[in-house]
Amino acid sequence: MQVLVTGASGFAGGRLVRHLVEAGQTVRGLVREASRAKLGDLAAVMEVADGDLADPASLSRACADVEVVYHIAATYRQAGQPDSAYQAVNVDGTRHLLDAAGAAGVRRVVHCSTGGVHGHIEHPPANEDAPIAPGDIYQETKLEGERLARAFGEQGSVEVVVARPTGIYGPGDTRLLKLFRGIARGTLPMIGDGQVFYHLNYVDDLAEGFRLCGEVPAAAGRTYLLGGAEYTTLSELVALVADVLGVAPPRWRLPVWPVWLAAACCEFLCVPLRIEPPLYRRRIAFYTKSRAFDISRARRELGYAPRVDLRTGIERTAAWYREQSLLA
């Protein structure tokens, strides 16, 4: 089966490419010219389709003779990035891709959204029908893209499956690097009581979840939360990382609101100058918002079964950080 993966040069997209190739699929990866250097040996296992979500003609070429499209590409949070950049990729780019897929006769599109569209989970764990409450421009535009995809699928020409991953991690990713490095150096403060929930998903398990979304017939028209088998409190997660790193967990705690106000001031001063703030409100939200999800629908309907337990995943991630000399 010929499939297309957008975001093939990224962390989750690149791992999905390898996973699909290992499963016997013929993979084409959509890659922007500026991202070609990131491919490494991926270029040897897939067909590289030069293109951009902002270029409908390139998407038409990429979708030719494709049965399933895995839409993983997105613009993630980045300091100083205008709201229009998120809109251009996460919404307009999704629309362009859906149009190209429909015109090319693609059978199914798997649209990668985010569990973050649910915002703070008041009554964990949340399932797919829990309230929607995006908390920032990234989550807002991912939700808008998800709704576009679902509406497109309801037109009947292309099957659409929406995947909402929880926090993605594993070797090759640096989104949790600040957490690991802060714990390793003994500089990570605990803000608040640490009793909010956090739900991670090892990247290999996520790749399998994406594959199932693309292949299970009954998944058409459905939405799935894809997370790890377990979630923990933030304090438990920090203690686990500290144990794996062989250091003591943080002992000092800071109250939330003074730190939040300091972060707001940092953003006010730094963002207009496109300077990465040393502290920002979204980082404080990491300590104050619960994210714990019920993945039973994916288990039941897809046969989704995460295999990498949290400790093993943390150990593998820490080992990669050490190999890359990122914790010093």
Reported as a single tens digit per residue, the pLDDT across 226-279 is 999 999 999 999 999 999 999 999 887 888 878 888 888 887 888 787 777 777
pLDDT value at position 283?
A: 74
Token digits of residue 206: 């996520």
Q: Is 243 exposed, middle or buried (0-12, 13-18, 19+ CB in 10 A)?
A: middle
Class of domain 2-173+199-230+292-308: alpha beta
pLDDT value at position 263?
A: 81
Token digits of residue 294: 């019920």
Supply the angle between the helices 281-288 and 256-270 in degrees, to the nearest 10. Answer: 150
Q: Determine the Cα–Cα distance for residues 93 and 28; give it in Å rounded to an integer.
A: 18
pLDDT value at position 15?
A: 96
Q: How many Cβ atoms are within 10 Å of 91's Cβ, its own excluded?
A: 19
- Extents of the domains making up the chain: 2-173+199-230+292-308
Residue 249 in contact with residue 186, Cβ under 8 Å? no
Token digits of residue 94: 């999704």
Intervals of the chain under pLDDT 70 = 37, 77-81, 280
Alpha carbon 205 to its chain centroid, in Å, reads 13
Q: Determine the Cα–Cα distance for residues 87 and 140; give it in Å rounded to an integer.
A: 9
Token digits of residue 271: 């963002």
| Closest residue by Cα to residue 223 from 133, 122, 296, 150 | 150
Residue 68 in contact with residue 3, Cβ under 8 Å? yes
pLDDT value at position 55?
A: 93
